[in-house]
Chain A
Amino acid sequence: MSEEGITRRNFMIRTMVSIFAFIGAALAVPLGGFSIFPALKRRESGWSDAGTARDLRVNVPQERRFYEVVKKGWREEKVERAAWFVKQETGIIVVFSPSCPHLGCGYRWLAATQRFECPCHASVFDINGKVLSGPAPRALDVMESRLDNGRVLVKFEIFQLGTPKKVLAWRRRHAETGA
Chain B
Amino acid sequence: MLKRVLDWLDERIEVRNLWETMTNRPIPGGSSWFYVLGSSLLFVFALQMVTGILLTLYYAPVPDHAYQSVKYIQEEALFGSFVRGLHHWGATFMVVLVSLHMLRVFVFGAYKKPREVVWLVGTGLFLIVFGFAFTGYLLPWDQKAYWATVVGTNVAGTVPVVGGFLLRIIRGGAELGDFALSRFFTIHTYILPWSLALLAGLHVFLLERAGAGGTWNAAERTPYRSEPLFPHQIFKDSIFILLLVLALSSFAHFFPAPLEPQADPTDSTYNPRPEWYFYAVFQMLRIFEGPFELIGTVVLPTVVITLLLLVPFIDRRPERDPWRRKAMMTAAALAVAGVMALTIAGARAPIVGVPAVTEESALAGRQVYARSGCVACHSIHGKGGTIGPDLTGVGARKDRAWLDKFLADPQAVKPGVLMPKPDVTDSERQELVDYLLSLKQ
Answer yes or no: A127 CB below 8 A from chain B CBs: no
Interface residues on chain B, number (Cβ under 8 Å): 55
**Contacts A121-B285, A135-B290: A38 and B266 contacting too (C-beta < 8 A)?**
no
Is there contact, CB below 8 Å, between A169 and B382? no
Is there contact, CB below 8 Å, between A137 and B440? no
Answer yes or no: B151 CB below 8 A from chain A CBs: yes
Which of B34-42, B104-112, B175-183 lines the interface with chain A?
B175-183
- Which residues of chain A are within 8 angstroms of B297 by Cβ–Cβ distance? 162
**Contacts A72-B177, A81-B266, A169-B164: A119 and B154 contacting too (C-beta < 8 A)?**
no
A118 to B359 Cα, complex, angstroms: 17
Is there contact, CB below 8 Å, between A167 and B147? no
Is there contact, CB below 8 Å, between B158 and A163? yes
Is there contact, CB below 8 Å, between B291 and A137? yes
A122 to B286 Cα, complex, angstroms: 7
**Contacts A73-B178, A169-B174: A38 and B441 contacting too (C-beta < 8 A)?**
no
- Which residues of chain B are within 8 angstroms of A52 by Cβ–Cβ distance? 440
**Contacts A72-B177, A162-B157: A117 and B352 contacting too (C-beta < 8 A)?**
yes
Secondary structure call for the B interface:
loop
Answer yes or no: A143 CB below 8 A from chain B CBs: no
Flag B246-271 by CB within 8 Å of A: 1 or 0 each.
Answer: 00000000000000000001111111
Is there contact, CB below 8 Å, between B352 and A111? no
- A106 touches which of B155, B157, B269, B382 (Cβ 8 Å): B269
Question: Closest CB-CB distance, A157 to chain B, in whole Å?
Answer: 9
A122 to B164 Cα, complex, angstroms: 23
**Contacts A63-B357, A78-B382: A108 and B154 contacting too (C-beta < 8 A)?**
no
- Which residues of chain A are within 8 angstroms of B267 by Cβ–Cβ distance? 82, 106
Is there contact, CB below 8 Å, between A67 and B381? yes
Of chain A, the residue at the smallest CB distance from B296 is A135
Is there contact, CB below 8 Å, between B150 and A103? yes
- Which residues of chain B are within 8 angstroms of A108 by Cβ–Cβ distance? 268-269, 352-353, 356-357
Flag A10-45 by CB within 8 Å of B: 1 or 0 each.
Answer: 000000000000000000000000011011110100
29 A-B residue pairings within 8 Å (CB atoms): A38-B173, A40-B168, A41-B173, A51-B441, A62-B360, A63-B268, A67-B381, A72-B177, A80-B265, A80-B266, A82-B266, A98-B266, A103-B150, A104-B150, A105-B151, A105-B272, A106-B147, A107-B268, A109-B357, A110-B352, A119-B271, A119-B352, A120-B271, A120-B285, A135-B288, A135-B289, A137-B293, A162-B293, A163-B158
Given contacts A49-B441, A103-B150, 17 further A-B contacts (CB under 8 A): A39-B168, A63-B268, A82-B267, A104-B150, A105-B151, A105-B272, A106-B269, A107-B268, A108-B353, A108-B357, A111-B359, A120-B285, A121-B285, A134-B286, A136-B290, A158-B174, A169-B164
B residues touching A (Cβ–Cβ < 8 Å)? 147, 150-151, 154-155, 157-158, 163-165, 167-169, 172-175, 177-179, 265-272, 282, 285-291, 293, 296-297, 349-353, 356-360, 363, 381-382, 438, 440-441
List 8 A-B pairs, minimum CB-CB distance, nearest first: A39-B168, A82-B266, A162-B158, A106-B268, A169-B174, A119-B352, A103-B154, A170-B174
A residues touching B (Cβ–Cβ < 8 Å)? 35-36, 38-41, 43, 49, 51-52, 60, 62-67, 72-73, 78, 80-82, 98-99, 102-111, 117-122, 131, 133-137, 158, 160-164, 167, 169-170
